[in-house]
Amino acid sequence: MRTLFWSLGLACSMSLVFPQTLLETGFEPPEFSLGNLAGQSGWQAFHFSTPNTALVSDALAFSGLQSVRVVPVSGASSSWWWKPIGYNTGGSGYITVIWDMYLGAGTIQAAYGIDCYDPDGFRIAAMRVNNLNRVQLVQDNGFTTTIIDTGTIYPRNTWARFKLELNYSTGRFRLIMNNRELGSANLNSAADTIFADADIWVNNITGNANDFAHYDNFRVMASSAPLPGADLNGDGCVDDADLLIVLFAFGSTDPIADVNGDGVVDDADLLEVLFSFGQGC
């Protein structure tokens, strides 16, 4: 379990009709400059032993100019980077973490994912793509960790959009990749109802991985109901922006615009957005 250096301060209450954005960043200038992520705009880091690196980089981005590039370091183990949130769910409603992720292939690979914590350092829920490219859920119960394989293989050297949806009302969480649900598991029953942070996480399993990852368009949302499936840009509202994503990708196999997950962006996806138009707004 990661030791958490976090100050609670004032926590918000969970009485939402519309989604509330708790954290949103594309790691763009002028808020972020090229270089170490930790220390910029309130982002922090923790490492077991030797630090791995997380750099704001212009080498690759899903949108805009910059993203966070995570690179394993020889001899390092696990590292986390996060910005404190401190949101009081009151034990109900949803927290949804949304991000775009690109995993570059290597001859030796690390595991990358998102790790969510409470103020006491208990893991609430997590996901990872392991060194064999398998997409997995990480379920904790107190200090016991269970890895749940979703049966999905992540294709390296491509971008994918992920949603990790935590349902505090039912005590469950689920993982969605490119608009397709991959699996679900239990939230940690030992964790507090305060959502402290969502961490960018790397596990350099062998200690000598030579791959890399990019994270972009990182967002954490609170809501009283699940975010609409047709909310393609992850802002909690199905509107013109989502319609344009489908129209610009029409006829392609773009997984982010493929609302129904049938492998092609077509009339069916356009209708999904139109029938959901205005939800969450």
pLDDT of residue 232: 81
Place of tokens 């570059």: 104
pLDDT of residue 14: 38
pLDDT digits (tens, 9 = 90+) for 50-72: 999 999 999 999 999 999 999 99
Q: Which pTM was predicted?
A: 0.88
Low-confidence ranges of the chain (pLDDT < 50): 1, 3-17
Cα separation of 158 and 62, whole Å? 10
pLDDT of residue 143: 79
Domains 20-223 and 228-281 share a fold: no
- CA–CA distances in Å: residue 249 to residues 216, 232, 255: 20, 12, 9
Instruction: Say how many C-beta atoms besides its own lie within 10 A of residue 189's C-beta.
Output: 10
pLDDT digits (tens, 9 = 90+) for 105-142: 999 999 999 999 999 999 999 999 999 999 999 999 98
CATH architecture of 20-223: Sandwich (2.60)
| Domain ranges (residues) in the chain | 20-223, 228-281
- 165 and 96 in contact (C-beta within 8 Å)? yes
Closest CA to 44 of 87, 86, 80, 85: 80
pLDDT of residue 2: 52
The β-bridge partners of 186 are 172
Residues near 150 by Cβ (< 8 Å), separated by ≥ 6?
134, 135, 136, 137, 175, 182, 183
CATH number of 228-281: 1.10.1330.10
pLDDT of residue 205: 92
